[in-house]
Amino acid sequence: MRLHFGTPVGSDMATPDEVAAEIDRQVIGGYRLFPSHYLALEALGEAPELVARKAITRQDRERFKARLADVPEALRPYWLAQYANPVKHKAGRLTL
């Protein structure tokens, strides 16, 4: 687990949308991606070019597979999306 603090949002922002965009930028910028994020993206078959295969070990794959097996089948697409979306956010492929 890692906790990351962004910088204070200044009073120079004119609209709530500007504040929200800055908060989104800081959250996404500070987000650390783990093998489970890439494995979820791979499992969904989306954006294969974003999957950092060199960062994924056999043990990572085994742990991920075991955790996925515990997720009810009807919920798996949502579970996988929850883990895959941070990779897409960081790559600018998904907006909040």
Task: Kindly report which listed range (1-10, 13-22, 49-58) carries the lowest average pLDDT score.
Answer: 1-10
Distance CA 71, CA 29 (A): 29
Q: Average pLDDT of 36-53?
A: 88
| Per-residue pLDDT, 9 | 87
| Per-residue pLDDT, 1 | 64
Q: What is the DSSP letter of 91?
A: T
Q: Are 32 and 38 in contact (CB under 8 A)?
A: no
Domain ranges of the chain: 32-90
Q: Average pLDDT of 44-64?
A: 88
pTM confidence score: 0.76
